[in-house]
Amino acid sequence: MPRFNIHHITKYTYEGPVRDSANQIVLFPVKDEYQEVLRQDLTITGEPAVELYSDYYGNEVGSFTTAEAHTSLIIDSRLEVITKPRPALEDTTNNEAQWAYMDQIRWQVPYIDFLKKEQFAPIAQTLENICPDKGRSQTPLGAAQQLRTYVFDNFKYIKGVTNVESTLAEVWELKAGVCQDFAYLLLVFLRQIQIPARYVSGYICPNKNGMRGEGATHAWIEAFIPFNGWVGLDPTNNCEAGDLYVRLAVGRSFSDCSPVKGTYKGTAGQILEVGVSVSYENGKATEEEMTVLEAQPTINGKENNSYRRYMEMMQQQQQQ
């Protein structure tokens, strides 16, 4: 069973003193038959009391406030986690029976929460080409894997090209994004063909296996598949999410799983930096594995992205 040590730092630096900071953190890994948390050390600037509770989706959530004036906020989480292998996927050839079962559960809790469709014309048009008859000529698992491969093959992985408020239309136009964009694309595809899909936040481990999305929090989806339950599908790397993935939270979308979010009184200007590192089973991080903070894309920083500027220039030339 893989055993990982994960270090996750979130740092906010403000232009001036701020106060009355109220924050919510979703940094507590899922605890179930596939994942065991051996230890977690959480350190927060000012050492505020953290109130823990479970949200609607069963995620462990913490909340805290800092009333005193401060110019930075650091949330430092250190984890030791064991992950366990999942059983091999089962996929029968009885397509009709599987899709009939999917039709039966579409109005049941919790599946109804993960079937809310987002109307987006290009998605519908693309489905007609790659998944005729909404995938019912194959099994739900086969259709889900085909759509996962489509996202992987047709969208470029480029750090910083999008931010947390980028829309589906922007990602589709750019044909580029990061893991959270690809997870959301696949989620929308699956819901269009009546497969319940939920967003997952977490980490890829270890950090030297050549997979895209390492060195930061990662995102993928879980699809509900007959005979298998919730199956993790990673469109960023075109694979199933197995015992090299550590799950933090699940939800309808990124907003339900955001690792850190909050509000405060004071200057609007701030810099967000995040660092994630993973060490191997012996728990000893090498010098190359030390946690390094990296500035995160901001909403006002979209115009500074070179790839975005290139795509806009190409579109303008085509319109002339």
Q: Is the pTM of this model over 0.95?
A: no
At 160, the amino acid letter reads G
* Residue found under tokens 């012996």: 282
Q: Is the dihedral of CA 94, 95, 96, 101 positive or negative?
A: positive
End-to-end CA distance of the chain: 59
Give the other-Cβ count within 10 Å of 227's Cβ. Answer: 13
Tokens representing residue 312 in the block: 């806009």
What does the pLDDT read at residue 320? Answer: 40
Tokens representing residue 94 in the block: 């009885």
Which residues, listed in sequence order, are joined to residue 61 by a DSSP beta bridge?
53
Integer Cα distance of 252 and 230 in angstroms: 14
What does the pLDDT read at residue 213? Answer: 64
Integer Cα distance of 303 and 92 in angstroms: 49
Q: Following DSSP, what letter does each residue of 181-193 receive, concatenated?
A: HHHHHHHHHHHHT
- With contact defined as beta carbons under 8 Å apart, do 291 and 75 qualify? no
Cα angle value 310/311/315 (rounded, 5°) = 120
Q: How far is CA 39 from CA 3, 6, 186, 283, in A?
A: 12, 10, 33, 12
Integer Cα distance of 37 and 6 in angstroms: 11
Helix, coil or strand: residue 126: helix
What does the pLDDT read at residue 96? Answer: 92
CATH 3.10.620.30, applies to 96-256: yes
Question: For each of the chain's 320 residues, which pLDDT tens digit applies?
Answer: 788 899 999 999 999 999 999 999 999 999 999 999 999 999 999 999 999 999 999 999 999 999 999 999 999 999 999 999 999 999 877 899 999 999 999 999 999 999 998 888 888 888 888 888 888 999 999 999 999 999 999 999 998 888 878 889 999 999 999 999 999 999 999 999 999 999 999 998 865 566 776 656 899 999 999 999 999 999 999 999 999 999 999 999 999 999 999 999 988 788 999 999 887 665 454 444 567 778 776 544 333 444 444 444 444 444 44
Integer Cα distance of 173 and 311 in angstroms: 9
Helix, coil or strand: residue 197: strand
Q: How far is CA 235 from CA 41, 77, 245, 259, in A?
A: 31, 27, 14, 20
- With contact defined as beta carbons under 8 Å apart, do 270 and 220 qualify? no
Integer Cα distance of 91 and 120 in angstroms: 30
Fold of 3-84+257-319: Immunoglobulin-like (2.60.40)
Q: How far is CA 249 from CA 59, 147, 202, 220, 284, in A?
A: 6, 23, 7, 11, 26
What does the pLDDT read at residue 279? Answer: 79
At 177, the amino acid letter reads G
Listed by start position, the domains of the chain span 3-84+257-319, 96-256
Per the rule left: phi > 0, alpha: psi between -120 and 50, beta: everything else, 159 is: beta
